[in-house]
Chains A and B, each alone.
Chain A
Amino acid sequence: MHELSVCQALLAQVAAVARAHDAQGVRAVRLRVGPLSGVEVSLLKQAYPVASAGTLAESSELLIELAPIRVKCETCGAESEAQPNRLLCARCGDDHTRLMSGDELMLMSVELVI
């Protein structure tokens, strides 16, 4: 499991943003994570307090927004919601789809105490 190393990469990015704004502290960190990112949200939440201890982001809140899985069909053009292991078009059932959302692992924003 690599959620701790993902957390460390996250905190390095948060620290860079905080430094660039001369922040006193970090109140909250917002992520957007999709089920196909390969990262387990519950493990990320567990790892965060450990990884952030002793940093500017210590005791900040980790807010995770779950991205839905959406696919666009290359055959009929429909866009639909899908399951992680069933990325088929909901309209025509075709398996030639393109993932529009669901693999995100994004740092969206940071709330800083300036």
Chain B
Amino acid sequence: MCNTCGCNITPGNRKHAYTPVAGTTAVSVLQNLLAKNDDQAAHNRAHFDQHGVLTINLMSAPGSGKTTLLEATIETLKDAFRIGVIEGDLATENDAARIRAKGVPAHQITTGSACHLDAHMVHEALHHFPLEGLDFLFIENVGNLVCPASFDLGQHRNVTLLSVTEGDDKPAKYPVMFRAADCVLLTKCDLLPLLEDFDPARAEGYVRNLANDAPVLRLSARNGQGLNAWFDWLRQTRAQQQARLAAGGTTRPKARPEGAPLNETPA
């Protein structure tokens, strides 16, 4: 986007661009408010692509089971893939310690009480976190169904968790978050027999109402049910990204434009 020559004024938005008022000069800008974050995210993505690592952003309400799912994922995949984790639990080192106990490198972003991660925090974390040789980088975002969806971190895919204890209408109440999901995981499904009012099909229906055709997987990290479909999704998503990288392309989460070229060299 160029803000000086006016090339980002399209027929669709031109009518909004100019509103002169007596005594002042109206200057048209037409820039996304999060442009700086988005630039940093593109830079992060170039780092990931340079190292051939697939980066996945995990988002959910607090306590939906992100760290537990990562533990189970590492357990099964660590012999076949090299995995790294960036943790966004800003107040404690607990989650990173749980991941390290599984024998996988983990970096905890500790910036106090922020309610979401942004691209600058992730870039800073990359200085402490070598990407060399990694196959998967998981970023566990701050437990919050609102803010994290607005900030691109440079990830290739968004995964949103919804635990069955939260209620099946969450996708209707948090459309921004669930629209951003490339894969939705209904977690803690071992508890479904106790929670008659959570209907997985209804939860999926609310996701479809957001024009989102992402897979909606039902699983439990506690008893292991449904985990194989999640592992298959991870393997398949990684294979697809490897093919894109080989062809000189990359990918971004679905709610954002697709197919950006690898034209950026990270500093």
| Residues of A bordering B, CB below 8 Å | 1-2, 5-6, 9-10, 12-13, 17, 21, 23, 27-28, 30-32, 36-39, 65, 71, 84-88, 95-99, 103, 105-114
> 4 closest A-B pairs (Cβ-Cβ)?
A38-B150, A87-B211, A111-B24, A38-B176
Q: Please report the C-alpha to C-alpha distance between residue A27 and residue B18 in the assembled complex, in whole angstroms.
A: 15
Q: List 12 A-B contacts (CB under 8 A).
A: A2-B116, A6-B33, A17-B27, A17-B29, A39-B150, A84-B175, A95-B208, A98-B211, A107-B30, A111-B25, A113-B24, A114-B25
A105 x B34 contact (CB < 8 A):
yes
Q: Is B115 an interface residue (CB 8 A)?
A: yes
B16 x A65 contact (CB < 8 A):
yes
Q: Please report the C-alpha to C-alpha distance between residue A88 and residue B17 in the assembled complex, in whole angstroms.
A: 29
A109 x B18 contact (CB < 8 A):
yes
Q: Measured between C-beta atoms, what is the minimum distance from B29 to chain A in Å?
A: 5
A36 x B33 contact (CB < 8 A):
no
Q: Measured between C-beta atoms, what is the minimum distance from B217 to chain A in Å?
A: 19
Q: Mark B134-170, 1 if CB is under 8 A from A, else 0.
A: 0000000000001101110000000000000000000
**What's the A-B contact tally at a CB cutoff of 8 Å?**
122
**Which residue of chain A has its CB nearest to the CB of B209?**
A86
Chain B facing A: main interface SS: mixed
Q: Measured between C-beta atoms, what is the minimum distance from B207 to chain A in Å?
A: 9
Residues on A with beta carbons closer than 8 Å to the beta carbon of B115: 1-2
Q: Please report the C-alpha to C-alpha distance between residue A109 and residue B21 in the assembled complex, in whole angstroms.
A: 12
A9 x B36 contact (CB < 8 A):
yes
Q: Please report the C-alpha to C-alpha distance between residue A30 and residue B31 in the assembled complex, in whole angstroms.
A: 11
